[in-house]
Each structure stands twice: as C-alpha cells, then as structure tokens.
Structure 1
Amino acid sequence: MNTLHTLFAISMAAWFISEFFYKNKLKSSKDDKKDKDKSTLNILWLAIPFSIGTAVVCSYETHFPIVEENWIMYLGELFIILGIVVRYIIIRSLGKFFTVDVTIKEDHTIKREGFYKYMRHPSYAFSLLTSLGLGLYLNNWWSLILAFLPPFLAFAYRIKVEEKAFVEQFGDEYLEYRKNTKKLIPFIY
C-alpha cells in the first residue's frame, strides 16, 4: 500500500505541474480571437483546486466508504494516470489549436480525427477522468462528489461557451459535427 501512496503523491504532483504548465504556456496569442472565454479559465482554476482540497480533507474528516476493499484505490490511481497521460496526448494532437482560454485561431479548423471522431471535448473528458480517479482513490462518497462535481460543472459551463464560439465561427459545419458526436463520453453523452 505504501507504494500506491507514493504513486498517488507523484501522480498528483504531475497533475498539478502539467496543468500549471498548460495554463502558463498554452495561452492564446495577441492575433487570436480571444474575447470568447467568459472567465471559464478562471472558473476552472477555482473549481479544480477547490475540489481537490475539499475532497482530500473530507476523506480525512468523514468515513463514508464507497467499498470496504482497497481495489478501488488502485482503480482510482489508474484513472488518475490515464486522465493525465491521455489528456497530454490529446493536447499535443491539437498542436497550436489548443489554448487554455476559449480562442479561435485565424486558421482554425474543426478536428475530426482521433478522439474527436467520437467526442467533441476529449481533453475535458480525460481531465474529468482524473477527478473521478481522485474521488475513487479516496474511497469516500463525499470525496467522490467533491472531487468530480465542481470540475464537471465548470467544464459544462466552458463547453457551453466554447460551443457557442465554434457555432459563431463555423456555423453549419460545427452544427453538423455536433450532431454526429457526443460531448464527453463516446456514444452516450
């Protein structure tokens, strides 16, 4: 179990460092249409640290286990690692079109391959998988709710803002793409 706790600490540090890197290095440039964000980046940077902090504190202060066995911690850690790694791969696949703020680049196009063939917001989906993993790792129903719900609501707001910007930019092309894909979970939602 001690190895799992060490892995958890390392993955949480990697999560924070990667998100901090994205926030500081992958911003829109002065030539981009960046008036669309509506504070979604700030909301995410409030919601996610809040959810992590309250979920961890709640796991120490309350006893409301999801299951009595330790396997759930391993599943949670797997989700954390998958979320971090796959989100990184998705961000890399978008290249210059990925920004942390809602932005339309001058030569922006709609990506339809890879994960984007099945869902419109895979980067957010895998960020939420990391949050879900945290809640499962903590093995506490309250922690699970606190780890997942605030980021989910923040991403839901961001998706609404982002999709409005895409419809304004791409019109029927984006509406057609939206009709043929799901937001966050392939074939479901």
Structure 2
Amino acid sequence: MTPTISKVVFVALAIGWYLIRYKYARRSRRARIVWSARGPLETALLLISLSGLGLVPLVYVATGIPRFAAYSFYPWLAWVGSLFAIAALGVFHLTHRALGRNWSISLDVRENHELVTEGIYRRVRHPMYSAFWLWAIAQALLLPNWIAGIAGLVGFGTLFFGRVAREERMMLQTFGDSYREYMARTGRVFPRIL
C-alpha cells in the first residue's frame, strides 16, 4: 500500500457511491413526493456533509492541499481504511436495494411509501447512515491529512446529528405504532447486541 494507492481507493469509494446512488435515484424519481422536510436546514446539512465527504477530500487527493495538515503515511492504516471502504459500499448497496423507490436524498415521504423492515433493515433502522459512518472512518484512515481525513467525520456527523431525530419523528408520524415497534427491536445505526 502506497499513498497513491490509498488515494485511488478513496476515489474508487466516491465513484462506487455515485454509481450505486445514480441507479436508485433515477428509479425513485418516478414515485411522487407527498410530504417533504426540504428547506434551508436540510440543504445546509446536505452541503456540509457533501463538503466533508466529497469536496475537501477530493481537493486533497487532486492537489495535496492543505499541505500543512499532512502527517506521515502508515500503510497498515490505509489497509484498514480499504476494508472500511469496502464495507461502506456493501452496506450502501444493500440499503439502496432494500429501499427501492422509497429512497430519497432528503427527508421525503413518497406516494405508497412503505416501512422497510427486511434485508439490512431487519436489525438496523438507519443503515444508510451506517454506510456513511463507515465511509467517514475509511476516509480518515486512507487520507493522511488532519483536515481532509477528518472532514468526513465532521461533515457527516453534522448531518447525522442534525437530521436523525427529525427523520425518526417523520417516520413515527407516517407509520405510527408500526414504527414504534420497529424502533423497539432495532438499533439506530448498529445492530443491537442481544
């Protein structure tokens, strides 16, 4: 493992994310949105997350900037980061596959929206967030730069903590007791240990 290969792994993670999301985004557009939480707060949270998981690290990969924040490269960290990247893409794919047309980039309820509790959703309520946490950890391990490396943790963390409670309220309003029961038997981001 070299610094260049480590950067290539990160770029492959970003490309893989785009390819997975593109297919499902096209498919979900066909289902009409009946309620949405889109607005300035949601837009700001998405932009912060995009900056931390995409813009800042890709600028670093392409230019090495910010150079002052670089630290020594450790191949073993990059190998571990590669495993987190693979896990992130796997969880991301399983999440999109389970959601199908119910998927949305924002907090939306679509026409004929269903509560998905099968597949990867059987034990975790928000595996999409799990995938992004795995991505953020992979980024921190793959990119030996204090700013570009941790930008994903900060950017996605801001989105997560600014959104997850609102999303759960939306699901409770939409699905009521079914969602309460689902919450009782699942973990929010990681499976509950029985």
Which of the numbers 17, 26, 34 marks the counterpart of 1:15?
17
Deviation at 1:73, TM superposition (A): 0.7
Contact 1:119 1:181 in 2 (8 A): yes
User: Letter of the aligned partner of 2:163 in structure 1?
Assistant: R
| Residue 159, structure 1, aligned to residue 186, structure 2 | no
Q: What's the CA shift for 1:22?
A: 6.5
Unmatched tracts of structure 1, length 5 or more: none
Contiguous gaps of at least 5 residues in structure 2: none
Counterpart in 2 of 1:101? 106
The answer to whether the Cα contact below 8 Å between 2:6 and 2:143 also exists between their aligned partners in 1 is: no
Q: TM-score, normalised by structure 2?
A: 0.77
SS in structure 2 opposite 1:34?
A: strand
Q: Match of 2:32, as an amino acid?
A: D
Question: Which runs of at least 4 in structure 1 moved beyond 6 Å after TM superposition?
Answer: none
Q: Does 1:169 align with 2:174?
A: yes
Range with greater deviation from structure 2 (137-146 or 23-32): 23-32
Mapped pair 1:78 → 2:83: yes
Paired position in structure 1 for 2:151: 146
Structure 1-normalised TM-score? 0.79
Tell me which amino acid in the other structure corresponds to 2:36.
D
SS of the counterpart of 1:104? strand
For 1:26 and 1:48, how far apart are their aligned partners in 2?
A: 23
Is the contact made by 1:48 and 1:151 (CA closer than 8 Å) also made in structure 2? yes
Q: Which moved more, 1:100-109 or 1:54-63?
A: 54-63
Once residues 41 and 29 of structure 2 are traced to their aligned partners in structure 1, the CA distance between those partners, rounded to angstroms, is: 14
> In the alignment, what sits opposite 1:43?
44
Deviation at 1:5, TM superposition (A): 4.0
Q: Does 1:178 align with 2:183?
A: yes
**One-letter amino acid of the structure 2 residue matched with residue 31 of structure 1:** R
C-alpha change, 1:23 and 1:157, in structure 2 (3 Å) is: farther
Structure 1 position 33, deviation (Å) = 1.8
